[in-house]
Structure 1
């Protein structure tokens, strides 16, 4: 049966991610779903199927293989368009993907990322120092005052650009992953995309005259010294690294802090452990339990194929529901429980799998590990101030804010 003639499970950006995951898994490993705007796709809902989708030889990230897009049935102002179309490696397959990935991969290898550890620790300490001054009776938003600036300052250091680049574009970035109905929302998307690309083009022009020992300069040289990178690819690669380099890290930090605060026994295990590897294990469990990416978009069948016993027609789009895959009960015992001692915590696909595995995964994990260890060491009495509102988003899972009481009178001086 054709995908569009099936009964589609409607993905709701306002739904509770855990409950939605359970409902999706109940319908099978590959489920026909409806994305915003009435766009139909297949969704992988368990660990094995999601992993298979990420590395399936008959699926590509190249949107040239999506007939609905090529025929104009997907409008330019579709709210998720920036996540499925463009010249960055996220939207390429085969040789083009390998070419673009190779240009940036060295900056995210183990040695250069580990070399950032002291600077990340300094930034975390600086941000937490600044939290001592507010009224102790007032809640502190850890997303706004800790996770967000930490992630932004680190990725801007990698790129060699001012922190203000992300700050100035912040609301435009948010607009691209937050649904909004009606003509106003469609106009907002067009305006946000245009403003982002205009700002990044201006930044590139500045960096051309003032190069440095950083990733942005390396990309500009790849563009200017040969034909390895087009101007559009340069702008869109910079855009991809900026947005992916801070959004997922913010959510990784805040999601895991929230999970720890909701599970005091697990927080005690992490905080009292003598093993330095404990916080790294906490990060992995946070990624499994509460993936910062909710639904990974989008792959397309290059020919008729079969996935998890389901026929997928040529041109059909396929996504992976990472919350559902992370809480797959066939992979994890008591999968809906947050357990930092879980032996299978690393068995998740929060950063994808295969050729498109997230280049920044190592950096995001290191930032989250340092953020958690520093935060709970400094403020061992940290408690939640209220139930946070979840992000309204299809691609991301996180919170609008994370208000907490620091109990600074109990803090550990460093």
Structure 2
């Protein structure tokens, strides 16, 4: 789930690396080492992936990690920010409460026109865009639904859904679109059941989600999709108040609306975050992870033939590290002057933490550009973020992936792409990376 999570902050040791990057008012360096003088445009971020390398982050990151781990960039609307590329520096920032996740603060670098339009709309932001103690107070309303214990309790239902979807694929016969027939419906069904969203309404939230995660959608379209979803979820909150069921929205409404700890509008916003993030990220991990395994047959065979859950769990962590589908960087803004690894970030300056770069940092991961499902320290990745905002849904996502990959590969041991690599439509235009569709045969 995008920049949400469950787990306490783990404080990292300070990096021994340092940089001579100067404050933005005096100039900085560009991503290729060129001097950026005051008034000159900063390089645009996000960078592009190299042609023919769909699983690798942009090639600029390697040089930046080595020469300039803090560099100046600008986002789509010209807002400047520090781009942070090294693993240890990112961990330090994510664990430091002097960096704010509040998207309403001046200097916060927006991700897309749509997200910026929603930020300026005046609607309440979900808890992901709050700082503690407010963030933690609201987050606690939902944590029980995404605990390790709750994820394990869902295994029988997850297995039932997975088997049903695979039965449908097998009955229809090849070719099949792995996204629409398996990767999308699995997490959509699961998060909708947790929240209490009727199955008949799945198309509504799936279609609106495509707009919300697009980096190219206009502010108007994104705001319209937001309004449609929050209006729908607000109506669902009203229905759950009148006719409660055993689901998240019913229970949170019953427990926290009467006390004033939340409101109808805020609960609708938080439910939208959980609904969108709860299926979008896992959908892309299932499809893109399967494609990465198909491109590495020995790794695929090891997952398919794994004898125990520990090996599958390790493979999932490595795929999370290797792919890092939240590929446009986690965003923060400094609320006071902070020194990280010898570099000073001034109050009011935004930072972008390129987790896809950190997860390829050779100071932590040996041969980081290789997919190795036996990697012993893969779980130290930052794919779920770090610190107080670490992904709320990570336990559920892990459980879904640990069941989905082996079930799919064992049902179809000869699984392979049904189209050429050059024809696969990757989601370069989305906040969450993946594939729009993936025709497969077996």
Shift of residue 44, structure 1, vs aligned partner:
2.2
Residue 5 (structure 1) shift: 5.7
Instruction: Report 1:213-224 matches (<5 A).
Output: 213-224=246-257
Match of 1:80 in 2: 115
Q: Which residue of 2 aligns with 1:189?
A: 222
SS in 2 for 1:103: coil
Pair 1:2 & 2:42 matched: no
The 8 Å contact of residues 330 and 354 in structure 2, kept in 1 or not, is answered as no
Contact 1:22 1:324 in 2 (8 A): no
Does the aligned pair in 1 maintain the 2:89–2:340 contact within 8 Å? yes
Q: Which segment is superposed worse, 93-102 or 45-54?
A: 45-54
- 1:107 paired with 2:145, answer yes
Of 424, 429, 439, the match for 1:393: 429
Structure 1: gaps (5+ residues): 408-414
Name the SS of the counterpart of 1:349 in structure 2.
Answer: coil
C-alpha contact (below 8 Å) 2:56/2:323 kept by paired residues: no
For residues 14 and 67 of structure 1, what CA distance do their matches in structure 2 show? 24
Q: 1:124-163, aligned counterparts within 5 Å?
A: 124-136=162-174, 139-163=175-199
TM-score by length of 2: 0.84
Aligned counterpart, 1:168: 204
Q: Secondary structure at the match of 2:440?
A: strand
Cα distance in structure 2, aligned partners of 1:84 and 1:55: 24
Bigger shift: 201-210 or 120-129? 201-210
CA contact (8 A) 1:352 1:358 kept: yes
8 Å CA contact 2:79, 2:107 repeated in 1 = no
Shift of 1:382: 0.4
Which position in structure 2 is the counterpart of 1:23?
A: 60
SS in 2 for 1:318: strand
Q: Summarize the alignment of residues 12-411 of structure 1 with structure 2, pairs less than 5 Å apart.
A: 12=46, 15-16=49-50, 20-27=57-64, 28-67=68-107, 78-81=113-116, 86-136=124-174, 139-180=175-216, 185-386=218-419, 387=421, 388-393=424-429, 395-405=431-441, 407=442
Residue 24 of structure 1 contacts residue 31 of structure 1 at CA under 8 Å; is this kept in 2? no
**Structure 1 equivalent of residue 10 of structure 2:** none
Q: Judging changes above 3 Å, is the alpha-carbon distance between structure 1 residues 265 and 404 closer, same or farther for their aligned structure 2 residues?
A: same
Of the structure 1 ranges 234-243 and 13-22, higher mean CA displacement relative to structure 2 is found in 13-22
What's the CA shift for 1:392?
Answer: 2.6
Is 25-34 or 14-23 further displaced after alignment?
14-23
Q: CA deviation at 1:385?
A: 1.8
Q: RMSD over aligned Cα, in angstroms?
A: 2.3
Task: Measure, in 2, the Cα distance between the counterparts of 1:326 and 1:241.
Answer: 25
Q: Which range moves more in the overlay, 190-199 or 35-44? A: 35-44
Instruction: Please give the per-residue CA displacement for 1:247-269, whole angstroms capped at 9, x wherever unaligned.
Output: 11112211211111010011122
Secondary structure (helix, strand or coil) at the match of 1:343 reads coil
Give the deviation of 1:19 after TM superposition.
5.2
Q: CA deviation at 1:14?
A: 5.5
State the secondary structure of the residue aligned to 1:221. Answer: helix
Displacement of 1:279: 1.3
Shift of 1:83: 8.0
Name the CA distance, whole Å, in 2 between partners of 1:231 and 1:222.
12
> Under a length normalisation based on structure 1, what TM-score does the superposition of the two structures give?
0.89
Matched position secondary structure for 1:306: strand
Aligned residues: 396
In 1: Cα distance, 2:69 partner to 2:430 partner: 19
Structure 2 runs not aligned, ≥5 long: 1-22, 29-35, 37-41
Aligned-pair CA distance for 1:146: 0.2
Distance in 1, Cα, partners of 2:56 & 2:189: 34
